[in-house]
Amino acid sequence: MNNVIIIGGGPAGLSAGIFLCRDKIKTLIIEKFSVGGNLLFTETIENYPGFPESISGFALAENMKKQFLKFGGEIKEGEVDKIELNGNKKIIKLKNGEILESYVLIIATGSSRKKLGVKGEEDFIGKGVSYCAICDGLFFKDKEVAVIGGGDSAVEEAIYLTKFAKSVYIIHRRDLFRAKKYLQEILKNNEKIKILLSTVVEEIKGEEKVEKIIVKNLLKNEVSEIKIDGVFVSIGQKPNTEFLNGIIRTDKNGFIIVNEKMETNISGIFACGDVIKKSLYQIITACSEGMIAAFFAEKYLENLQGV
């Protein structure tokens, strides 16, 4: 049995794992996809200390993974179905039927992109509809694409896609972008980008793949059609907490509520990173929260008799 199981191998989970394994605490990370989490969707990171020339999200994730493994950490591929409690033990049931146990559980499952929820979206996922410009941008070389959203991620993706696409629409339902000012300046000065504000996508259409979108101008109440080859959805994140089944306290949006020690309402269960309710979602804050969770997880273990 592991002393600590961490669900999620993004920056928060890896940081927690590095801290614990360095202190010789047997730790297992369960990761559903690839270790690195949302880091893998970030082309260039310029605000993480120690990399004056910037670093790619993939490279940073690989460095963290190597550091975790170097100190004796283990990584298991799998998806958690549910968690249960048995005294001081935490029971983690995977969707493949496997059952794992630990004294401490750290939830670092992060968040995922929200979907638009419009007609045609589900039909064309992988056929022109994407939630990751860095993953799929190259497939749209010299084509027309649209980015839906108005925050930092949406604006960054629109700018990134101009490297490949013939032109890029950015469509935002409000009359002002929420993105940082410097990003907005880059956006507005890029000749490849066409800005549509106060506009929503009502439908995504095509035969075998995306061919057009139906949009509505909210100010003029006018509906029009735009010929398009790709749609990149970037309208925010939702926490990956579906497996909690009401055991852990969350806010109305599903983000886990923690205290300053990253403790949840259940003794011995901690949470960190983009899955928790907080005011700032950054790589460096996720790493910090992972270290805090690990520190107090270790204190919890020390207080358990027989551990």
CB hemisphere CA count around 165 (13 angstroms): 29
Which among 114, 14, 115 has a CA at the least distance from the CA of 63?
14
For residues 288 and 183, give the distance between their C-alpha atoms in angstroms, rounded to a whole number: 26
For residues 238 and 241, give the distance between their C-alpha atoms in angstroms, rounded to a whole number: 9
Place of tokens 């993974």: 65
Contacts of 103 (CB under 8 A, 6+ apart): 1, 3, 4, 88, 89, 90, 268, 300, 301, 304, 307
Catalytic residue among 21, 23, 123, 132: 132
Q: Has 132 been annotated as catalytic?
A: yes
For residues 133 and 233, give the distance between their C-alpha atoms in angstroms, rounded to a whole number: 9
Is the Cβ–Cβ distance between 272 and 292 less than 8 Å?
Answer: yes
R_g of the chain computed on alpha carbons:
21
Catalytic residue among 136, 229, 272, 274: 136
For residues 298 and 160, give the distance between their C-alpha atoms in angstroms, rounded to a whole number: 42
Catalytic residue among 23, 135, 175, 251: 135
Q: Go through 115-132 and write b for each residue having 16 or more CB atoms within 10 A of its CB, e for each that does not.
A: ebebebbeebeeebbbbe
Write out the two tokens for 89.
């033990």
Read off the amino acid at residue 29: I
Place of tokens 């925010």: 236
Q: Has 136 been annotated as catalytic?
A: yes
Helix (H, G, I), strand (E, B) or coil at 226: strand
For residues 175 and 173, give the distance between their C-alpha atoms in angstroms, rounded to a whole number: 7
For residues 136 and 128, give the distance between their C-alpha atoms in angstroms, rounded to a whole number: 9
Active site residues: 132, 135-136
